Structure 1
C-alpha cells in the first residue's frame, strides 16, 4: 500500500525505493490505449512509461477496497474513476484488481487489471 500511496501523491523517490531494479509492470486491457502494451521490464523503463499514462488519463477517484496477502503475493481490489485528457470524457466509476509480488521489501511485479472498456470508451470519445 505504501507504493500505491506514493504513486497517488507523485512521490517518485519513494516509488523508486520500493521498486526492484528488475520489476515488471503489466497492464491488461484494450491494446489501443497507449499505456496498455504488455510487460514493461525494469525500474528505468517503468519510470519512462508512467508519464504516458498520466498524460492520457487523470485519475479522479481511487478507493482501495479489499486487500489480501499470501507470502510474497498481494491482491488489492477497488474502485476508481478517471478523465481521458484527449477527450475530456469521464470513465465513470469502474473496478480494478491488482496482483503484486514483493521480494525483500521491494515490488517485483505489478499486474494491473481494470475495466478497460470504460477507459477505452472515454479515451476514444465513444461515450
Structure 2
C-alpha cells in the first residue's frame, strides 16, 4: 500500500458511501484510479467489507459490553475458535497486558447478555473473565 491507498482508506473510514468522483477529487487522481485501487484493495482483502455505524441512541435496546478474557496455558487458538462461533461476540481482539483477549459483546437484553456471558464462561481454556457494560460513546 502506498500513500494514496492509505489516504483512500482513511476517506472510506470517514464515509464508506463517498462516491468515486468525490474520492478522486480529494485524492487528486482520476475516478478510474480510485475505482481500480478500491478493487485491488478488495481483491487483496485489505478491504473486507463495508458497514453501517449507528448512534447508540438509534438502538436504545441494544446492550453492548466489553469482556476481558484470560486464557489458560496454550489454549488461545481453541478459545478464539469457540468465541468466533458465539453469536453474542461482535468483535474479538488479541491484546497485551492483563487480558489475553478482548471481546466486544452485543445483546438485545440483559437476560440475553447473561446467557452470552454464561456460554462464554463455559468455554474450555478460559481461566477468568471480566465484563464491563458499555454506557456511552463520545467519539
TM range (shorter): under 0.3
Q: Which has the greater radius of gyration? A: 2
**Which structure shows the higher helix fraction?**
2
TM-score by length of 1: 0.21
